[in-house]
Amino acid sequence: MKILEVLTYYRPHVSGLTIYVERLSKALVEQGHEVVVLTSQYENDLPREETISGVQIKRVPVAFRISKGVIMPTIGHHATKWARWADVIHLHLPQFDAPGFALRGRLFGKPVVLTYHCDLQLPVGKFNRLVDGVVKMMNQLAGSLANAVVTYTRDYGTNTPFLHQYLEQKLHIIPPPVELDACSPDCEAAFYARHELSGRKVIGISARLATEKGVEVLLKALPQILEAHPDALVLHAGPYQNVLGEEAYAAKLEPIFQKYAASYRRLGTLHGAELTAFYKNLDCLVICSLNSTESFGLVQIEAMRNGVPVVASNLPGVRQSVTMTGMGEVVPIGDHAALAAAVNRVLDKKAAYIRDAQLISDSFSPTQTAAEYITLFNALQNNTPDTSTPEPPAYQRLRAMQERYNSTHESG
């Protein structure tokens, strides 16, 4: 099958969305399909065309940016060319250009699948509100033209206005793809030694330094955490310098980072085995996101599959990893005191939160995610799509695991 994946930013840009599409595309190629990723040439030094892990990447030149969006005058030409080539068109929202691709799919008789990753919420300001409104309008157009809409969890679908309108029509739930490179004991030990973790409780956060990630909530929680665990250390993996559109946010937090320099380290973007070593050395992972721009938090599964419990914001979709597995705690959004208390409980009794890491890993494997997409693509090609939105088998297995744990714990 020839599959066209369309999104605004692709690798080397770092975000949950780009990582999702990268993992999915590689898994589809491994299963024998031909995949073209059509995206923006958001930096001039990026090649217009390249092939990585069998995935063909086509980048369209950018004339200028509007907030975090890009304007690509030649996108229409590329959309027509690759929509004609494809057997199925897979769009990833939020994306300004999505309606044009969806319309071409309709005109050329190609199934269009739209995966809605998260809401768009730009920083405050009249201009950004205008941009936000335009993107929402384009999302609505794309959704009306798409044959199927995919999201990660029914929880997010139920609580997100854009998705809720498709709940009983064409909404499908597919678990996101999560994988990590192998990490040897030597690599894990080297990370431990390099960051001088001996005798310290290590709290992780894995995110861009961006407004919606709520990093300031964790910073406000630090005094309460340090009171209970004086040697606690936060390791922050992810880009923190020159993050697109987040310069003012970074400048606002810089004095606080300096204040807690002995207890909060920014590591930058980690790759490969080093990222796995990061997770293996954590006692707890924190997701303190503030709004629906976070719809799941793939990093939760990356942590859990390495035996690390999670403290997560009570956001639709985001809370599901902890709710399904029992591997952590859910706290009110933006409540630094509740976050600190939950982190302290996890640090004190980490073993009580540990669950079956292999089952969690298998439930979110890229191979399984790709297989579920192919099942949907085939159904659309054969005009036999299932319009129901039950929980996928992977989620049912995770909930059964947690029920067994609760039953055993209560009886014991």
Are 327 and 242 in a shared domain?
yes
**pLDDT value at position 365?**
95
* Count of other CB atoms within 10 angstroms of residue 18: 20
Residue holding tokens 């980048």?
A: 59
Q: Which residue has tokens 């640090």?
A: 347
Pairing of strands 264-268, 148-151: unpaired
Number of domain units in the chain: 2
Let me know whether 24 and 155 are in one domain: yes
Query: Rounded to 10 degrees, what is the CA torsion of 320, 324, 327, 333?
Result: 20
| Residues of the chain below pLDDT 50 | 412
Residues 88 and 189 in one domain: no
* Alpha carbon distance 41, 325 (integer Å): 39
Residue 221: the pLDDT is 98
> What pLDDT, on the 0 to 100 scale, is given for residue 410?
66
pLDDT for 388:
61
Question: Would 25 be classed as within a structural domain?
Answer: yes
Give the 3-state secondary structure of residue 34. strand
Q: What CATH number is attached to the domain comprising 36?
A: 3.40.50.2000
Q: Is 412 part of any domain? A: no
Amino acid at 289: S
Question: Is 49 part of a structural domain of the chain?
Answer: yes
Cβ of 140: how many Cβ atoms within 10 Å? 13
Within a domain: residue 402?
A: no
The Cα 329–Cα 323 span in angstroms is: 8
For residues 341 and 213, membership in a common domain is answered with yes
Question: CB 264: neighbour CB atoms within 10 A?
Answer: 21
Considering the domain architecture, whether residues 327 and 275 belong to the same structural domain is answered as: yes
Task: Please check whether residue 190 lies inside any domain of the structure.
Answer: yes
141, part of any domain: yes
Q: Which residues have a Cβ under 8 Å from the Cβ of 285 and sit 6 or more positions away?
A: 203, 204, 205, 206, 279, 299, 300, 303, 308, 309, 310, 311, 328
Domain span holding position 383: 2-177+365-394
CA distance 233 to 187: 20
Give the CA distances from residue 395 to residues 76, 152, 301, 353, 402, in Å, rounded to whole numbers and listed in that order: 39, 11, 13, 18, 11
- DSSP letters of 1-37? -EEEEE-S--TTS-SHHHHHHHHHHHHHHHTT-EEEE
113 and 157 share one domain:
yes
Q: Are residues 18 and 40 in the same domain?
A: yes
Pair (354, 371) in one structural domain: no
**Considering the entire predicted model, what is its pTM?**
0.88
Q: 85 phi and psi, to 5 degrees?
A: -70, -35
Residues 6+ apart with CB under 8 A from 350: 283, 284, 309
Cα 77 to Cα 84: distance, rounded to the nearest angstrom: 11
> Hey, CA dihedral for 338, 341, 345, 347, is it positive or negative?
positive
- For residue 169, report the phi and psi dihedrals to the nearest 5 degrees: -115, -65
Is 154 in the same domain as 257? Answer: no
Shared-domain flag, residues 25 and 99: yes
Q: How far apart are CA 80 and CA 29, in angstroms?
A: 23
Residues 194 and 122 in one domain: no
pLDDT at position 389 is: 65
Asked whether residue 306 is domain-assigned, the answer is: yes
Residues 259, 173 share a domain = no
Instruction: Specify the residue for token string 């079956």.
Output: 356
Give the alpha-carbon dihedral of 299, 303, 304, 308, to 10 degrees: -140
Instruction: Tell me if 74 is assigned to some domain.
Output: yes
Which residues make beta-bridge pairs with 173? 151
